[in-house]
């Protein structure tokens, strides 16, 4: 056995041992990622699960926000996210289509790309102050859903643009050439071939954007969200409560809140995000199954 | 109008006058003069880099997409200069269809592939019956109808390469092109597929003027009526195919077709 031509040498064995060790190390590192998720979810469910009920979701807070439900905040978050989407999605998709399909490689395109990268890097509190200056004061929208959603939209625009552009770029170039060679214009090519094949990626990006927007606190707290409002918002010029800000308020600003209330609010917020993400993943898998190349 | 055409029948499909072409500073075509006849199959042969594909792509002007191409001279398609300022590229590409080395069906159904060009180029996309007729006619012409008539809604990419290539030819036909350019249309296919597509190309002659670039000498010999040999960006010889392969006029041609280089 030992004198087999292909038997392992001492060096081979040593390399094999190192290989095993390194592999274990990487597995361990990667698995560590699961921990925080489990701990967060576990804590929230353990401490806040008891308060979750239909009533909690659909009634107003009472008694100085120490009792009752979270309906106005839940509704407010939906308002904010929806209006932000209406603004950022068309703008973002149009910009991405230009950058992916039309833009020549020149200083102007590079300037736009630079702007996107910088916009993505601006801290959310700076966005908040920009929102106050631009939308609340300068355009005179006041603190309103409109001002808050515009701020959120600008903040999430880079995400929409980048994810849409990547989805468009993932459509093989040969399809475009095939269309052009048949005499199709750029727009005909985009509408008939590129967009239908990129739509799953674009939608995934948008859903991820929704989940991010829902959790933002800083950009809305000066621009449209309020600590407490006895009224539900009737339109985009109204102020509103929001889940993320409500969580901040009941955790730190109001005395005498039962322990399970903030945890319950956090659980609802994270639940919303997780549901959106699962929808996005399910969507992607469904459409990927239908991919035609 | 009709009388004028009868008096002076259009004989030439493609006519190049002193065509010079540069990619940046590299000159790919030198003083190309060619008269390619209407209604027959003409093959373009020559070693890699001799300019045959470049010439083909300068007929429907898809070279220009590269952006750094400069052209001097003229290419006429049915006596019309395709480099005239009033030429609309969409019209040019509609009437001068092109087939590529690798079949490039679009990621939709077989039916939608056939209708794609038609829908691009007509104001109304027609009713269902009209569309069905167009699809059947085009697929009949490329000898594909019997094979795919029961699965028109399947994805085009589920077809074999040979069938995909036939489909790529079929989708050109509904817009009634006058010229078909083919850039090594069989080189991605196995021998059986090659035979089938060659047969199809042979079927289509007469109705269309076909210019086909090929690396395959046997194919040029089998499937074309006239043959052009190019070398280093110049046309060396343009004669009926039989003649070229039996008694080539130029030494370079003889060397190439005997396989001494290329």
Contacts of A188 in chain B (CB under 8 A): 120
Of A178, A183, A293, the CB nearest to B157: A293
- C-alpha–C-alpha distance, residues A124 and A131, integer Å: 10
Residues of chain B contacting A102 with CB distance shorter than 8 Å: none
Q: Is A293 on the interface with B (CB under 8 A)?
A: yes
Cβ-defined contact of B97 to A292 (cutoff 8 Å): no
| Chain B residue whose CA is closest to A192 | B116
Residue B262: inside a domain, yes or no?
no
Element (H, E) at B257: helix B251-257
Domain containing residue B134: CATH number: 3.40.50.300
> pLDDT tier at A282 (50, 70, 90 boundaries)?
confident
- Residues with Cβ within 8 Å of A185's Cβ and at least 6 positions away in sequence, in order, are B90
Alpha carbon distance B214, B81 (integer Å): 26
The domain tally of chain B equals: 1
Is A16 part of a structural domain of the chain? no
**ipTM tops 0.85:** no
Q: Do B155 and A292 touch (CB under 8 A)?
A: yes
SS3 of residue A139 by DSSP: coil
Residue B109 carries which DSSP code? B
Tell me whether residue A20 is in a domain: no
- CB–CB of A220/A148 below 8 Å? yes
Domain range holding B86?
A: 10-257
Residues of A in Cβ contact (< 8 Å) with B105: 178
- What average pLDDT score do residues A240-268 get? 88
The count of C-alpha atoms lying within 13 angstroms of the C-alpha of A157, restricted to the half-sphere facing its C-beta, is: 24
- Domain contains B46: yes
Quick one: pLDDT at residue A24?
A: 96
For residue B120, give the nearest of A174, A175, A183 by CB distance.
A183
Q: CB neighbours of A222 closer than 8 A, spacing ≥ 6?
A: A128, A129, A131, A132, A136, A143
Cα B233 to Cα A242, B52, B221, B236, B249: the distances in Å are 71, 8, 22, 9, 18
pLDDT tens, N- to C-terminus, chain B (262 residues):
444 445 555 588 999 999 999 999 999 999 999 999 999 999 999 988 899 999 999 999 988 887 889 999 999 999 899 999 999 888 999 999 999 988 999 988 999 999 998 888 888 777 888 899 999 999 998 988 999 989 999 989 889 999 999 999 999 999 889 999 999 999 888 888 898 889 999 989 889 999 999 988 888 888 899 999 999 999 999 999 989 988 888 888 988 888 766 5
Measure the CA–CA gap between A106 and A100, rounded to whole angstroms. Answer: 13
Report the domain count for chain A.
1
Whether B126 maps to a domain, the answer reads yes
Collapsed DSSP state (helix, strand, coil) of residue B87:
coil
pLDDT at residue A41 tops 70? yes
- Put simply, whether B203 touches A (Cβ < 8 Å) is no
Contact status, residue B55 vs residue B230, Cβ threshold 8 Å: yes
Facing residue for B106 by CB, picked from A185, A193, A291 = A193
Q: Give whole-number Cα distances, B248 to A216, B74, B238, in Å.
A: 78, 28, 10
pLDDT at B1: 45
pLDDT in tens, A261-272: 889 999 999 998
A107 touches B: beta carbon within 8 Å: no
User: What does the alpha-carbon distance between residue A194 and residue B34 come to, in Å, rounded to a whole number?
Assistant: 38
The first and second tokens of residue B113, run together, are 């592939």
How far is it, in rounded angstroms, from Cα A129 to Cα A275?
Answer: 31
Is there a contact between A87 and A149 (Cβ–Cβ < 8 Å)?
A: yes
* A24 in a structural domain: no
Q: What is the dihedral of CA A240, A243, A249, A251, to 10 degrees?
A: 170
How many angstroms separate the CA atoms of A170 and A199, rounded? Answer: 11
Q: Which of B111, B120, B179 to mutate to test the interface with A (most CBs of A within 10 A)?
A: B120
Residue B88 forms part of a structural domain: yes
Cα distance from N-terminal residue to C-terminal residue, chain A: 50
Between chains, do B107 and A179 touch, taking CB under 8 Å as contact? no
A232: in domain: yes
The answer to whether A184 contacts chain B (CB < 8 Å) is yes
Q: CA-CA distance, B84 to A42, in Å (whole number)?
A: 73
Residue B64 vs residues A100, B22, B74, B82, B89: alpha-carbon distances, Å: 20, 11, 15, 13, 11
Nearest to B157 among A181, A183, A292 (CB): A292
In a domain? residue B17: yes
B24: left (phi over 0), alpha (psi -120 to 50) or beta: left
What's the mean pLDDT in A258-287? Answer: 85
Is A17 contained in some domain?
no
- Is B1 a member of any domain? no
In a domain? residue A12? no
Burial class (CB in 10 A: 0-12, 13-18, 19+), B158: middle
Within a domain: A248: yes
Domain assignment of residue A115, given as a range: 48-290
Predicted confidence band of residue A52 (pLDDT cuts 50, 70, 90): confident
What pLDDT, on a 0 to 100 scale, did the predictor assign at position B218?
86
Contact A292 B108 (CB under 8 A): yes
Are B257 and B244 in contact by the 8 Å Cβ rule? The answer is yes
Note whether residue B5 is domain-resident: no
Q: What is the rounded radius of gyration, in angstroms, for the C-alpha atoms of chain A?
A: 25
Q: Is B49 left (phi over 0), alpha (psi -120 to 50) or beta?
A: left
Q: Which residue of A has its CA nearest to B115?
A: A182
- Under an 8 A CB cutoff, do B106 and A181 touch? no
pLDDT digits 0-9 by tens, A85-114: 999 999 999 999 999 999 988 999 999 999
Asked whether residue A42 is assigned to any structural domain, the reply reads no
Query: How many beta-carbon pairs under 8 angstroms link A with B?
Result: 55
CATH of the domain at A112: 1.10.3720.10
Q: Decide if A180 touches B, using CB distance below 8 A.
A: yes
pLDDT band at A208 (very low <50, low <70, confident <90, very high): confident
């Amino acid at each position: 056995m030992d004198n087999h031509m292909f038997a392992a040498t001492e060096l081979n064995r040593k390399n094999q041992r190192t290989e095993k060790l390194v592999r274990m190390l990487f597995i361990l590192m990667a698995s560590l990622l699961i921990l925080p998720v489990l701990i967060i979810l576990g804590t929230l469910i353990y401490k806040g699960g008891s308060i979750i009920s239909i009533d909690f979701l659909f009634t107003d807070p009472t008694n100085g926000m120490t009792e009752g439900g979270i309906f106005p905040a839940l509704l407010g978050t939906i308002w904010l996210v929806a209006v932000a989407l209406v603004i950022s999605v068309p703008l973002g998709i149009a910009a991405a289509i230009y950058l992916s399909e039309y833009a020549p490689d020149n200083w102007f395109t590079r300037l736009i790309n630079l702007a996107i990268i910088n916009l993505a890097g601006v801290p959310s509190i700076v966005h908040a102050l920009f929102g106050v200056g631009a939308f609340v004061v300068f355009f005179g929208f006041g603190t309103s859903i409109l001002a808050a959603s515009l701020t959120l939209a600008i903040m999430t625009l880079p995400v929409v643009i980048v994810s849409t552009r990547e989805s468009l770029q993932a459509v093989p170039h040969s399809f475009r050439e095939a269309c052009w060679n048949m005499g199709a214009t750029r727009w005909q090519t985009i509408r008939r071939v590129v967009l239908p094949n990129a739509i799953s990626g674009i939608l995934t990006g948008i859903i991820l954007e929704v989940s991010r927007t829902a959790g933002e606190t800083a950009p809305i707290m000066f621009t449209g969200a309020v600590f407490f409002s006895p009224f539900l918002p009737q339109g985009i010029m109204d102020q509103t409560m929001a889940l993320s800000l409500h969580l901040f308020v009941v955790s730190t600003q109001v005395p005498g809140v039962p322990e399970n209330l903030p945890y319950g609010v956090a659980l609802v917020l994270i639940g919303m995000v997780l549901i959106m993400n699962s929808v996005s993943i399910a969507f992607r898998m469904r459409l990927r199954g239908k991919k035609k190349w | 109008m009709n009388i004028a055409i009868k008096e002076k029948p259009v004989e030439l499909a493609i006519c190049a006058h002193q065509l010079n072409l540069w990619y940046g500073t590299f000159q790919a075509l030198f003083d190309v003069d060619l008269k390619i006849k209407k209604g027959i199959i003409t093959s373009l042969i020559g070693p890699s880099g001799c300019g045959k594909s470049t010439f083909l792509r300068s007929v429907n002007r898809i070279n220009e997409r590269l952006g750094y191409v400069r052209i001097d001279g003229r290419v006429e398609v049915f006596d019309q200069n395709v480099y005239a300022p009033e030429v609309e590229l969409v019209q040019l590409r509609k009437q001068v269809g092109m087939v590529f080395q690798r079949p490039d069906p679009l990621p939709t159904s077989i039916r939608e592939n056939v209708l794609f060009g038609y829908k691009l180029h007509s104001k109304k996309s027609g009713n269902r019956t009209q569309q069905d007729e167009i699809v059947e006619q085009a697929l009949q012409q490329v000898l594909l109808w019997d094979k795919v008539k029961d699965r028109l809604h399947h994805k085009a990419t589920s077809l074999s390469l040979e069938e995909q290539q036939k489909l790529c030819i079929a989708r050109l036909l509904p817009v009634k092109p006058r010229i078909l350019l083919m850039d090594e249309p069989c080189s991605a296919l196995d021998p059986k597929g090659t035979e089938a597509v060659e047969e199809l190309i042979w079927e289509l002659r007469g109705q269309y003027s076909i210019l086909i670039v090929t690396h395959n000498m046997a194919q040029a010999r089998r499937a074309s009526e006239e043959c052009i040999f190019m070398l280093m960006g110049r046309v060396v010889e343009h004669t009926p195919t039989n003649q070229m392969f039996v008694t080539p006029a130029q030494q370079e041609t003889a060397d190439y077709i005997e396989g001494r280089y290329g």
